[in-house]
Amino acid sequence: MVTTNGWTRRDFIRRTSAVGAAAIGGPILLSACGGGSDSAEDVLEKGRKQGFLRVGVANEPPYTKVAAENVTGVEPDILRTVLKRLGIDRIEGVITPYDQMIPGLQAGRWDVVAAGLFMKQSRCGQVLYSEPTIVSTESFGVRKGNPKKITTLASIKDHSDLKIAVLSGGFEEGILKEKGMPAGRQIQVRDGRSGIEAVKSGRADAFFLPTLSLEDLVKSDKAIEVTKPVDDAPVTGAGHCFRKKDKAAHDKYNKELAALKKTPEFGKILEKWGFHASDVEGVTTKQLCKTSG
């Protein structure tokens, strides 16, 4: 039973909704507590011994989804499948904001990140990414009818009156910074729901987030529409992140992931969540890690 500050897991989840607590910026354990950072023990060996690995997730469907403490979404489902092939039957999710995923991994608060943490130079320099698991697109969530005609990065860059909501520390925030958008025009939010509310309240003119995440967020919200994929945004490709000291485990994981990709099961997992195996075919971590930011 997880205990956090003496609370039982049920108390913890009841009193601080997973998203709420993540919104405050703290990671949320969804399972048994475990030790802190590893010593030199191979992380896969640790997983086999204790029967699970702890994974950093965001709870942003379809990339990661937490319901009744069950961690799914395209990334955890791929991770769970590969780990099973490596003799590790379970994963335990820890909900955390994107900007804490790598620091938490380095600190040993979780053993791997499988959250759709898109590859870019600054991230690739800190961790070992597996080969790509998904490639996806970015869009804008805008008010119905898209009154400000926000469709591409070029369409927002020169309109100094436009304010864009982004997840703090997220890939999209990095894109806007790379494009030279002043910080004053970026509305930082902690999670998807807050980004949608920022657009509905008029605090922001658009919410910049992956297309499939926006579609999941607004599926029952008629006030917001999702633009077509932003054609001048960088490619958003993700893999699973390991600590640099876990290179042996990373290499074993990559080998097993490559074997999974050759089976129909890989495509089935992606399609269940709206992704396509053909999009990631032939794409490499080396290519995606060239993305600036």
217 binds ligand 6CS (CB under 6 A): no
Question: What is the Cα–Cα distance from 134 to 292, expressed in whole angstroms?
Answer: 19
Q: Which of 233, 253, 256, 235 is nearest to 243 (CA)?
A: 253
CB of 13 to ligand 6CS, least distance (A): 23
Find the binder of ligand 6CS among 73, 97, 116, 237 (CB under 6 A): 116
209 binds ligand 6CS (CB under 6 A): yes
Question: What is the Cα–Cα distance from 45 to 42, expressed in whole angstroms?
Answer: 5
Question: What is the Cα–Cα distance from 95 to 101, expressed in whole angstroms?
Answer: 9
Find the binder of ligand 6CS among 44, 46, 59, 60 (CB under 6 A): 60
Look up residue 210 and give its amino acid. Answer: P
97 binds ligand 6CS (CB under 6 A): no
Find the binder of ligand 6CS among 104, 132, 210, 234 (CB under 6 A): 210
- The region of 66-74, 86-94, 112-120, 247-255 touching ligand 6CS under the rule CB under 6 A is 112-120
CB of 199 to ligand 6CS, least distance (A): 16
Find the binder of ligand 6CS among 118, 129, 266, 273 (CB under 6 A): 118
Question: What is the Cα–Cα distance from 252 to 89, expressed in whole angstroms?
Answer: 16
CA angle 273–249–3, rounded 5-degree value: 70
205 binds ligand 6CS (CB under 6 A): no
98 binds ligand 6CS (CB under 6 A): yes
167 binds ligand 6CS (CB under 6 A): yes
227 binds ligand 6CS (CB under 6 A): no
Point out the residue whose Cβ comes nearest to ligand 6CS.
Answer: 170
| Alpha carbon distances (Å) from 216 to 73, 211, 222 | 12, 9, 13
Find the binder of ligand 6CS among 111, 131, 172, 246 (CB under 6 A): 172
Question: What is the Cα–Cα distance from 75 to 88, expressed in whole angstroms?
Answer: 16
CA angle 67–261–282, rounded 5-degree value: 115
What tokens were used for 246? 């876990």
- Residues near ligand 6CS (CB under 6 A) are 60, 63, 98, 116-118, 167, 170-172, 209-210, 213
